[in-house]
Chain A
Amino acid sequence: MKIFVYNLYKCLTVFLLILSFGLVGVSQAQDEVRLRIQARITPKISIAFKPFVEKTGTRLHAAIRDTINQVLVRDMKVSGVFAVRDLSVKLTDEAGESVAAFLDESGEADLSLLRKLSVQIMVSGTFEVRESQIEMNLKLTDVVTQRKITEKGYAAFDLTLRRVIHRVADDIVLQMTGERGVAQTRMVFTSQRTGAPELFVADYDGYNIRQLTNDRARKYSPNWSPDGTKIVYTSYRDGPHELYILDLQTGETHKVPFGGKTTLAPRWSPGGHHLVIGLVIDGLSKLFLSGLDGADLKPLITSYGINISPSWSPRGDQVAYMSDRLRDKHVYVVNVDGSDDHRITFEGKYNGSPAWSPRGDRIAFVSGDTLRQETGRLERIFNIYTCDVNGGNLMKITGNNGIEGDNVNPSWSPDGLHLLFSSDRDEIGRYNLYVMSWDGTEIYRVIGDSNNRQPSWGPRP
């Protein structure tokens, strides 16, 4: 009996030990989550573009006509909303052979052919040059019923022609989506084309580059005010690395003093009344909220380590930032009252430069992918990723076709459909600016010719 009881006890003990270790195993397995996401592809709106023509009876202005047609087609394609079929280009088969023309000899579009190709809308228009003024007339037509959707007139001068064409493109996007496009927006960036990094501004497509500063002091981290009238940046102009605000309407610059402390990466709040900045204290960067005049300084992140690169949520209630408090650099999100500070990146050792999408649903950031070079040396290549605001649904959007240089400084377009970034993909060590669709499928170089970095996409006018 005793032996039986003793054996029973041993069996029970072993069983409980197995059960216990089993539970430990389960709890460890819970640390690893396998997620699966399903592709959600929003179809583009199939739209035909019938090139603008000069009104009968006026002089030929081929250069103006070409500018209108080239800029408008490009704007529509880059919008990310349309699948554009340029009717001046003949329909081709799979071998690339031309099989049909969309326009007949009189310039009329073959709507039946467009219907067969499931094209829904046709853009067309005319222009007329009267003395120094260019008058354009835009017309949108339903291809199926041939009913006019809308018709609008625009007036421009030579110097404003591109800007007005951008407005035409934005109006087309508005008519088809209910939201304005971004063709009238601008970007600010630093460029070394005149020596030390100075601030430059350009249209969203890289045209009309204009120099904003010229004091030969290095400048960094420019960022637009929400109303587009001011730009905040940091500079060594007066010695220390401090914060400045440039008023684009008056051209005046004023310094926002923070006791001479080194100031880093200022970002304007969506409401326009606050800044989030990095201040270097005891050799470490800490994040603070501040009024536009430097008053009402409130600590946001003062934990150990370097805390830098803040980015506001579109509602202005949270801030994403980078911290190395756990040795590796990762992206964190915190409420503006300092609560609920949590980490959202877990892969790799370097994740930084977060940029919160204006739509509020995604955060873009830069991650350093470690690669082993042929020499056996480890080198870090930077690529842009996006994730949900809780870190889920991670998506690599540059570097998917092999090494494509470093891709850094992501900045969202106001509609959240595009990212502006700098990359040395065309020449190692020489950075240019590129615009890509939110999923990285379409990339356009917009600023070249120099070392151009730290772009910030401006708001809609």
Chain B
Amino acid sequence: MTHMIWTSGLLHIIVLGGFIFLNMLWTRPVSSTGRQTYYVNLVTLPAPPEKQQARLVDGPYKVVSRKEAAAPQQEASMALKRTPRLVSEEPNKGPVTSPSFETDMSGVRLDVKEFEFPYYLGVIQRKIQQHFVVPRMPGVKQLEAIVYFKIDRKGRIHHIILERESRHPVFDLTAQRALDSSNPLPPLPDTYEEDYLGVHFAFEYNP
């Protein structure tokens, strides 16, 4: 009798195990089931332009600290926490050997001593931001990669160099892809006399 009970039990276990195994096999990928349900939070509508411009900035244009570097691009910082920004760093360590200079624009270090077109830095930041889509990275708190590149007179990007790695290869690759996708950037101002503009650009991840 005992023997029969154990045999019966064993057979039941095999049958049930087979059932579980087949069930797992039959579970199709979600994308092919046709019953996918998306819960979408529609985007917040952009505020009217006039309201976005409401912040008043008093006084003449001045050099500001690195933390304030994003201020002239206030709209951009409002838009997305993970915003690439132009940085004011100490001369960068790494493969870039050309000298760099502070400018009157907040927190920008460029390869030229005189760059009198702060608007240009705002519009290139805007364009790169459009293409900077960072995947969510669980467990990662903060990342920063600095990329150096040159812009020619027609706005084409050259000599992309990862100046400072973020210690997260995917993030570094995302930053470089954002630059690739942004190519070409707006043409340099006609009255800018140099052939190239060198930019040190920081990409941040602050989830």
Contacts and interface: CB of A to CB of B under 8 A. Distances in A.
Nearest to A30: B30
Interface string B12-38: 110011011001101100111111111
B191 A441 contact: no
Contacts of A175: 186-187
A9 interface: yes
A34 B189 contact: no
Contact of B24 (A12, A23, A83, A326): A23
A16 interface: yes
A32 interface: yes
A174 B186 CA distance: 7
A149 B184 CA distance: 18
A36 B55 CA distance: 31
A46 B53 contact: yes
Interface string A260-295: 000000000000000000000000000000000000
Contact of A39 (B38, B43, B50, B133): B43
Contact of A147 (B20, B76, B191): B191
Contact of B23 (A27, A35, A142): A27
A115 B191 CA distance: 21
B91 interface: no
B8 to A, nearest CB: 7
B19 A20 contact: yes
Contact of A149 (B56, B155, B190): B190
Given A16-B16, A37-B40, A145 B118 contact: yes
Interface string A21-49: 00110010011111111011111111000
Contact of A31 (B35, B44, B105): B35
A16 B5 CA distance: 17
**Interface footprint category on B:** 35 or more
A171 B27 CA distance: 55
A453 B54 CA distance: 41
Contacts of A347: 37-38
Q: Among A5, A34, A39, which residue has the most Cβ atoms of chain B within 10 A?
A: A39
B177 interface: no
The 7 residue pairs across chains A and B that have the minimum distance between CB atoms = A83-B49, A43-B75, A39-B43, A27-B27, A120-B119, A150-B190, A145-B116
Contacts of B184: 178
A395 B42 contact: yes
Contact of A177 (B6, B80, B127): B127
**Interface footprint category on A:** 35 or more
Contacts of A116: 56-58
A35 B76 contact: no
Given A43-B76, A143-B119, A149-B191, A16 B13 contact: yes
A217 interface: no
A40 B43 contact: yes
A392 B37 CA distance: 10
7 contacts: A9-B12, A16-B12, A20-B20, A39-B43, A118-B72, A144-B118, A342-B31
Interface in B144-201: 155, 182, 184-187, 189-191
A178 B155 contact: yes
A176 B184 CA distance: 11
B191 A12 contact: no
Contact of B43 (A43, A149, A395): A395
B117 A147 contact: yes
Given A44-B49, A142-B119, A149-B190, A395 B44 contact: no
